[in-house]
Amino acid sequence: MALSAQSSALWAKKRSVDGHHLWLPLITHLVDAQNVINWLMNHWLAEGQRQLLCQSLSAEDLQKLVKFLGFMHDLGKATAAFQLKPAYNGDQELDHELRDQLTFNGFQGLDDVALARKSPHALAGEAILESFGVPVAIGAIIGGHHGRPADRRPRKQLRTYTANYWQSDQNAALQAPWQQVQLELFHYGLSLSGYQHVAEIPSVGQPQAVILEGLLIMTDWLASSEFLDDDTQMPLFPLIGVADTWQDVDMTARFQQAILAWRREDKWAPQAVKTSSDPYQARWGFQQNSVQKVMTEAISQTLDPGMMIVEAPMGLGKTELALVATEELAYKTQRDGLFMGLPTQATTNAMFARVNTWLAQLADRQGEKLQIKLLHGKAEFNELYRHLPRATNVNQGHSNAETEQVESVMVNGWFSGKK
């Protein structure tokens, strides 16, 4: 299915560096995101999460829906309100260059447009998809992918802020190009996802929607990252020169290069905790106490584990109990991650060393490298954390005695901030 020059002229990102004008065509970003979300679903999402999704969707339906969400996530950028936004650094020459490109491809009267700032692109995408007949639950995932789900029916946006979507409130000639590209991109995305008609798109329940929302947010973070981190400037999904078009980009090679650069760690494969012997003795060199023994055995016998709450005095070994429980629960529910939350930076720093030692043991047993992240504002002042190897140079070897003992645990610099 060919894409028109009008749709190809839309931008998703733009910036200037030392006088060089760069942009990312919208279609490039949409295909990037579709490639990324499909890969994450098949290779990064935990098996237990995939099983939860498949409670209401067949494997084939899930594959199609995930691709659809990836492609459609930024459909709201195919609107007048977004395409006329100025560059963040105030480069008016870049703005004019991309506006002239739109004019050349059939969008007229752009210089005198004044629009209300009431239609952020995530909300706009949800409104457009609802108007095309996409199930409300699926549109809501698009609308919430920047963390702010709509608090009212998004489709009303099309009536209240019509010009934000189609440049004019009433002029049909000005509206037509915007309506055309939105419909064209929608059908293009349908086809790439494996759908023939909008009626084939399934709805989902809230538990499935939550997982899909998180997966889409993860996808957009990754597909929107130009570089792995600020230090190495290793390219992930870079912008291109404004003289280049999306047809000049090898989309397959671009995606493969980005995933190879980003995927620097192995995946934890949880194993069953053996209760025939003392798991605490094997991990920490001390004998389990009665509370630890009872809880470990209880988890090992449960068929459908949920939340486990342990309330006990200090010094009873709740931390070690929690880590053993994590191994058991991860194995039973087929999950592959742990979040450890504490109330202060001081308690977090103290706990970080203990969790890191535990994770290193897991990594050594698995014979692979696993990742860890200290998530508070002064993490870089933590000596242990600062000396952990980074994903960008993890294969270069370390001679420093401080790092040799934690070689199997590393930090992926891309996972910063909210990520």
For 243-287, the DSSP string reads: T--GGGS-HHHHHHHHHHHH--S------PPP-SS-HHHHHHSS-
pTM here is: 0.91
Closest CA relative to residue 370, chosen from 352, 384, 358 = 358
pLDDT band at residue 149 using 50, 70 and 90 as cut-offs? confident
CATH topology (fold) of 5-262: Hypothetical protein af1432 (1.10.3210)
Give the model's pLDDT for residue 97: 96
**Cα 283 from Cα 273, distance rounded (Å):** 11
**What residue type is 281 in one-letter code?**
Q
- pLDDT exceeds cutoff 60 at 403: no
Give the model's pLDDT for residue 392: 66
- pLDDT exceeds cutoff 90 at 139: yes
Give me the numbers of helices (H) and strands (E) for the chain, helices first please: 19, 5
Task: State the first-to-last Cα distance of the chain, in angstroms, to the nearest integer.
Answer: 35
**Cα 311 from Cα 318, distance rounded (Å):** 8
- pLDDT exceeds cutoff 70 at 369: yes
- pLDDT exceeds cutoff 70 at 371: yes
**Cα 59 from Cα 55, distance rounded (Å):** 10
For 233-254, how does the pLDDT look when each residue is reduced to its tens digit (9 = 90+)? 789 999 999 999 999 999 999 9
Percent of the chain with pLDDT over 90: 79
Give the model's pLDDT for residue 351: 94
For 79-117, how does the pLDDT look when each residue is reduced to its tens digit (9 = 90+)? 999 999 999 989 999 999 999 999 999 999 998 888 989
Of 253 and 366, the structure prediction assigns the larger pLDDT to: 253
37 CB contacts (<8 Å, ≥6 apart)? 66, 67, 69, 70, 215, 216, 219
Domain positions in the chain are: 5-262, 270-337, 339-419
Region 345-366 average pLDDT = 93
Give the model's pLDDT for residue 128: 98
CA distances 18 to 21, 91, 226, Å, are 9, 11, 17
Give the model's pLDDT for residue 412: 82
